[in-house]
Amino acid sequence: MTTSQRDVIEVLTHDHREVERMFAELEALHGIETHGARQRRKDLTDQVTIELVRHSVAEEADVYPAVKKKVGESEAEHAKEEHAEAERTMKRLEGLKPDEPEFEAQLALLMHEVREHVAEEESEMFPHMRSVFTEEELVDLGRKVESTKKIAPTRPHPSAPDEPPGDKLLGPVTGLLDRMRDAVTRRGTER
């Protein structure tokens, strides 16, 4: 099965596993106070943020409107609220250095928020989606999510619109600016 044929639940679950892998590495580096370990923690935190922002933008643009229509408004709105909490945490974390005391607290909070959200999505929303959407609809949503992630922002923007038309208009422009800024600063790359 090629990437373009994965259904949306497979795409999103793959993202969840990738973020969890990075969280596990971050936890393994906790307490190691060398310059290299601190730099790796910052790089990993940037990579996690990039992945989470792209993932969240795609869910909010493509998945949650479909869930709202076919599964239920409350489920979609609850997930969006969880995204907003995590985005605010990522924004606070973005301005911190790994040797600052608040860095560890914000990183721990982010991991807790994301793990809780992932558990809810995978145990509640995804099974509901499997029972309501056709396989064709799930594959189509998967394609849309992968396409949106390619142009999505890579940095948290908590005050940006998260619903159409604002997200559809500003998201790609913000994404381009974020990727240009990331390229200049080498953010999200291993140094």
On whether the pTM is more than 0.95, the answer is no
Q: How many CB atoms lie within 10 A of CB 122?
A: 14
Q: What are phi and psi of 153, to 5 degrees?
A: -60, 160
pLDDT tens per residue, range 153-185: 888 776 655 555 555 545 566 665 665 566 666
pLDDT tens per residue, range 87-109: 999 999 988 998 898 999 999 99
Q: Are 109 and 93 in contact (CB under 8 A)?
A: no
